[in-house]
Amino acid sequence: MNIAVFASGTGSNFAAIASAVRRKQIPAKLALLVCDNPRAKVIGKARKAGVQVFLIERGAFAQRRDFELAIMARLKQAGIELVVLAGFMRILSPEFVRKFKNRIINIHPALLPAFKGSHGIKDAFDYGTKVTGVTVHFVDERMDHGPIILQEAVPVREKDTLEALEARIHRVEHSLYPRAIRLFVQGRLRIKGRKVFSAG
């Protein structure tokens, strides 16, 4: 199975996935990085890992639709069967999501449905929750909403700083995301309504 990771930033999740592929924990090929930010650190990580980079800037297209059509054409060319969002800072259109129905997954740094949006860690920290965590889920047409594949809780400590909590959340992400991708690649995930069952 050929996988594409979409990322716009640091790429620590990309690196964790690339390493799990290299160790054969994920029995698939990491065929492509799709990146919309020429300054993103993830690009260097992909080059180092020998993964092809498709750099595509939204500003180069008048319409979002054309931007997404160009991405879809590249995915088709690379024979991509699973799209893994790892800090891709753009919302995919309903058309894109339908085209890859149940073949796009995302990681969110909070326990959904709590603290949706792009500041999940800080929002939970500022709210004063005692427990937050990480969610891996299928992507549907609504933001941070699709059926949940795996979740892991992360306790918030009384002496935590935001930075310390962020570091623990990221550590959990780097083990949870490869586990979820492995289940998908092995064909062990079944979706029934909002529920995801992992067989075997």
Binding site for ligand GRF (CB under 6 A): 7, 9-14, 86-87, 107-109, 173
Kindly state the smallest distance separating residue 54's Cβ from ligand GRF, in Å. Answer: 17
Q: How open is the CA angle 88-110-119, to the nearest 5 degrees? A: 55
Residue nearest to ligand GRF (CB): 87
Choice between 71 and 108, CB closer to ligand GRF: 108
Listed residue (144, 183, 8, 104) closest to 134, CA to CA: 144
- Residue 152: phi and psi, rounded to 5, are -140, 135
Choice between 10 and 69, CB closer to ligand GRF: 10
Q: Which residues are catalytic?
A: 108
Choice between 10 and 151, CB closer to ligand GRF: 10
Listed residue (25, 48, 136, 30) closest to 85, CA to CA: 136
Instruction: Round to whole Å and give the CA distance between 66 and 98.
Output: 16
Q: Beta partners for 87?
A: none
Listed residue (32, 39, 38) closest to 14, CA to CA: 32
Q: How open is the CA angle 160-163-126, to the nearest 5 degrees? A: 65
Kindly state the smallest distance separating residue 199's Cβ from ligand GRF, in Å. Answer: 26
Kindly state the smallest distance separating residue 192's Cβ from ligand GRF, in Å. Answer: 26
Kindly state the smallest distance separating residue 134's Cβ from ligand GRF, in Å. Answer: 7
Choice between 7 and 112, CB closer to ligand GRF: 7
Place of tokens 């995301």: 177
